[in-house]
A and B are shown apart, each in its own frame.
Chain A
Amino acid sequence: MPFAITRRSLLGLIGLAPFRTAARAEGAWQAIMKEARGQAVYFNAWAGSPQVNGYIAWAADVLKARHGITLIHVKLADTAEAVRRVREEVRAASPGSADLIWINGENFRAMKQEKLLFGPFAETLPNFALVDTAGKPTTRIDFAEPTEGLESPWGMAQLTFFGDGARLGAPPLSMPALLGFARDNPGRCSYPAPPDFHGTTFVKQVLAETIREPSLLRLSIGKAEFADAAKPLFDFLDALHPHLWREGRQFPLSQAQLTQMLADGEVEVGITFNPNEPANLVAAGTLPRTTIAWQHAGGTIGNTHFLAIPVNARAKAAAQVAADFLLSPEAQARKADLAIWGDPTVLDLAKLTAEERALFGSGDAPGAVRHPAPAIPEPHGSWVSLIEAAWLERYGA
C-alpha cells in the first residue's frame, strides 16, 4: 500500500496527524455506540452490599434510557466465580455468559496471564482522559501488574481502621501504637486470618511499616531474601498476637465477621478497604453515630478496582459503553456520595469543569475519615504468596 503510506506521511508532514487520529477515534466510538444499542450486558459484580446493588440498579436505568442498553447485574459472592466461569467457557469454546466484570488484584492477574480478557479498550474510552493517572498511579497499575488497557478504573480503595470514638478516645495511628493499644486492652483486637484479602492486607501494612528497606517492596522477591526482609514483620506479629482476641490463637475468618464482632462489642477496632464504609455503616444503623475512621499517619496500603471485559463476551460494544458511562463525572460523583455508596473517585477533579466538580460533595458525615493519609502502593505480587505461606506456617495450625 505505497499510496496509503505516502498519504499518511503527507498528512503527518502538514501536522494534521493528531487531528486525524482524534477524528478516527471519534468515528470508532460512534460505531461502538451504534453497535451497543439493543445489546444486553451481563455485569458480573460482587453483590454483598445493598448500597452497591442500588447504585448498579441506577446505572442500569440510565444506560437503558440513554443508550438503549440493558444492564443485568449478575450478583456474585466472590469475583473468582466469574474468573473460573470464563476460564471454563473459553476452554469448552462455549459462548460467554459474562460481558463486564468488576475486578482487581489476583483475579485480574490470572485473567490477564491466561489471556481471558478483551482489549486493550480502557484507555480509548472517551472518559479515560479525566482519570487521575498521575496522582493515582494505581489506576494503571493493579497490584504491581500493569493494566495495559485491559481494565478500566472504577473506584479507589485504601486500608482504613474504624471503631467507636466514645470508647477509643485517640485512635492508634501506627502499628506500634496499635500494639500499645492491644497491650492495654487484652483480647479486644484482632484481624481476619490470611489468606482472607483483608487479613493479608493487614499483614502487608505491618510489613510496610516495619521493613528496614522499603524499596524492596516494589521488587520481585525470592524465598531466601524474604526470610530476612520479613523478620521484623514476624517479630512484630509475635509481639502483637498474645494480646489479641483469643490470645492470637484463633482469628476471625473474614472482614465481615470482624465488623460484626465490632458491632456486637467483642472487639474495638475494625478494618476495611473502603475508607467510606464506616460512614456508610453508620448511615445504615449498623454502627453508632460516635464511630470514627482513621488511617495510619505514615500512609496505608491503597489500590484501585476496575471493570474488565472477558474475551468471550457477547456484548463487547455495550460493555465498553457501560464502562465509559461508569467513568463519567456524573456516575463517579454519585458513586462517591456517602449516602449512595461512598466509593472514592478515580477521576482528577482538576480535569473537570466547575459544574462537574460541584457534583462531588464534601465527605463530612459521622464515621468519615477526618485526616486522610497517603496511599502506599501494593507490594509486588511475589510478596503475597510468600507472606500468606509464612503466616500459615507460623500461626495456621
Chain B
Amino acid sequence: MRRSLGALPLAVLWGGPVVLALPFLILPALDGEAWQLLLAHPQLAPGLALSLATGAAATLLALAASLLLLAGLHGSGARRSFEAASAAGLALPHLAFAIGAGFLIMPSGLLARIFVGGGEPPSWISVQDPWGLSLTLGLALKEIPFLTTAAFATLKRGEHAGALEAQCRAARSLGHGPGSAFLRVVLPQLLRQLRWPILAVFTYGATVVDMALVLGPTQPPTMSVVIWHALNDAEPAQNRMGLVGALLLTAALALAAGAAAAMLAALRRPLRRFLTGGPSALGLPRRQAMSLGLALAAVFALSVVMLLMLSVAPRWPYPALLPPGFSGAAWETLAASPNPLWLSLGLGLATSTSAIVIAILWFETQPPARDRWVVGLALASLALPQLALAAGQYRLLLGLHLSGTLAGLFLAHLTPAAAYVVLVLSGPYRGFDMRYMAAARALSASSLRAWLSVKAPLLKAPLLTAGAIGFAVSMAQFVPAQLVAAGRHSTVPMEAVTLSAGGSRPLTAAFALALAAPPLAAFLLAALLGKPRWR
C-alpha cells in the first residue's frame, strides 16, 4: 500500500500527462496521406541524415571533451572553479549561446572584422554551412557543461566519493599511474551513471530547432527544422505531416541509440580485458584539460560579451570593431513587463521542488527494477520532439478544461523538468550504498530520521544539481507553455520569443541574457550548497 502511494504523485502529476498525451500521437501515425506527403518531401532523407549526424557527432565530441576535462581535473584544485564555470555555461540558453558564438565566427562576425577587415565581409562558409559543422560544434560546446555537471554531481556524492578515492588508492598501490587508475576505476562507473544524460544530449542535439535555425544548414535544413515548419503551417495537412515526421525522427533516434547500445555490448569482452589489464604508469592529462577548460571558458565568456554588446547595439555594420552607437531600448522593453518574470520564477520554483519530491518518493518506495519505466518515459518525453508531445498534452489539458489555467501551466512545465530530474537523479540515487541506512536504522533511528540525517546530506550535491537543472529547464520552456497558456498567461520565454519574432537582434540578445540570469543563480547556489561538509 505504502509502495503504491509513493508512486502516486509521480504517476498523477508527471506520468499521467505524458502517457495520456501519447494516444494523441498514435492517431496521426495512422494517417496514410500524411506519410505520403512526408515520404515525397525532397528534404526528408538529407534532413534526417543531417539530424542524426549532427546529433551523434556533437554527442561524441561533447563526451570526449568532458571526459578529458574530468580526467585532467580529477583530484586537482582547479576542479572547484571549473564546476562553477560549468554551472554558468549550463545556465546560458542554447539560443543565446548560438547567437553569441555565431556572431564570433560568421562572415561579418568579430573574428572576420579583426583578422580580415576590408569593405566587404569574406566569403567564409562558417555559420549555416551545408555540412552542419558549425551546428555540431555549437551543440558540442553547449553540452559539455551539462555532461560535466552531471558527472560532478555523481562523483561528489558523499559516500561514493570516499569509496572511489579508496579504490583509486588501491589501484595506485597496485602500481597503476593516476591516469590508469582513472581510466580503469573511475571511468567505467562514471559512464554507467552518465548513460541517460548522454542519451538526453543525443536526443536533444538531433531534435533541436532554435540552434539549428541560427547555426544549421538551410538547403536542406535538419529534419527538426523541416518538422518545425510543417507543424507551424496553417494547413492541417502540413501539421499532420509534421507530426508523422516527428514520430519518424523519434523512431530513427531510438534505432540509432539501440544500435549504439548493441555495439557497446559487443565490445564488452575486449573492454573487460582492457579494464583488468595493466598496471600502467599512465599519467593524467592535466595540461590538456587545463588548456581545453580555459579555451571553453574563453568561448563562453566571449559569447556572453558579444550578447551584451549586441543587446545595446541597434546597428553594427561590417567592418567596425565597435558599434557606431548604443541604445538601451531593448532593455527598456524588457523592463516594461515584469509580470512574466514573476510567473516564470514561481513556476520554476514550484516545478523543480515538486519534481525533486515526486522523484524521491518514487526512488524511496519503488524497487530499482521499475526504474526502467520512469527512465524510459523520461527519455521518451525528451526524445519526442517537443512540438509533438506538447500538441498531444495540450489536447489532453484542453479536454480537461485546464488550458489557460495556472494548474495546466504548472503541469506543462513539470513534464520536461521532472524528466531531467529523474534522469540526473536515478544514477546517484540508486548507486547509494544502502549499508549507511542499515547502520542508521541499527542505531534505532526512524526511517524518516535516518533519511534526513544520513541519506539526504550524503545525496545533497546530486539533489541540489537536479533541482537547479529542473529549475533551468522550467525557466526555458516555450512550446508547451505557449500552447497551454492559450494567450491568458505569459512567461519570460514567451515574451522573448514573441517580441523577438521580428528578428530584432538587440531584443533577442537582451532576453537571452535575462533568461540566463535566474538559472545561473540556481546553479551557483547548488554548487555552493552542494559542497561536502567534511571538507
Residues of A that sit less than 8 Å from B by CB: 42, 44, 46-50, 53, 74-85, 87-89, 92, 94, 97-98, 106-107, 109-110, 187-188, 193, 195, 246, 249-257, 259-261, 263-266, 284-288, 392-393, 395-397
Contact = CB atoms under 8 A, between A and B. Distances in A.
Interface stretch (B7-15, B65-73, B395-403): B395-403
9 contacts: A50-B333, A50-B507, A76-B498, A94-B398, A94-B403, A256-B502, A266-B106, A392-B43, A397-B47
B499 A53 contact: yes
Contact of A92 (B235, B395, B487, B498): B395
Interface in B484-507: 486-488, 490, 494-495, 497-505, 507
Given A94-B398, A106-B234, A253-B213, A397 B46 contact: yes
A263 B325 CA distance: 13
Contacts of B329: 50, 284
B232 A80 contact: yes
B42 A393 contact: yes
A146 to B, nearest CB: 18
Interface in B68-116: 106-108
A78 B503 CA distance: 13
A47 B108 CA distance: 28
Contact of B403 (A76, A97, A193, A260): A97
Contact of A110 (B121, B123, B236): B236
B114 to A, nearest CB: 15
Contacts of B497: 77
B208 to A, nearest CB: 15
A394 to B, nearest CB: 9
B433 interface: no
Contacts of B398: 88-89, 92, 94
B498 A85 contact: no
Interface residues of B, number: 63
B487 A249 contact: no
A309 to B, nearest CB: 15
A288 B125 CA distance: 26
Contacts of B501: 46-48, 76-78, 256
A84 B239 contact: yes
B498 A285 contact: no
B31 interface: no
B233 interface: yes
Contacts of B366: none
User: 9 tightest A-B contacts by CB?
Assistant: A256-B503, A48-B502, A74-B487, A48-B501, A265-B318, A285-B314, A75-B498, A77-B501, A97-B486
Contact of B504 (A50, A250, A288): A50
Interface stretch (B217-225, B271-279, B296-304, B440-448): B217-225
A288 B315 contact: yes
A264 B317 contact: yes
Contact of A264 (B41, B225, B316, B504): B316
Given A193-B219, A254-B503, A80 B315 contact: no
A247 to B, nearest CB: 9
A279 to B, nearest CB: 15
B315 A85 contact: no
Contacts of B130: 249-250
Given A47-B501, A92-B399, A285 B325 contact: yes
Nearest to A257: B503
Given A193-B219, A251-B219, A266 B108 contact: yes
A252 B120 CA distance: 18
B128 interface: yes
A52 B487 CA distance: 18
A263 B315 contact: yes
A245 B318 CA distance: 16
B327 interface: yes
B145 to A, nearest CB: 27
- Counting chain A CB atoms within 10 Å of each CB, the highest count among B108, B229, B325, B395 belongs to B108
B482 interface: yes
Contacts of B42: 392-393, 396-397
Nearest to B330: A50
A264 B217 CA distance: 20
Contacts of A42: 487-488
A250 B216 CA distance: 11
Given A82-B487, A97-B486, A266-B318, 18 more contacts: A48-B502, A74-B487, A83-B234, A94-B399, A94-B403, A195-B229, A249-B130, A250-B128, A252-B218, A255-B503, A259-B503, A263-B317, A264-B317, A265-B317, A288-B315, A288-B317, A396-B219, A397-B43
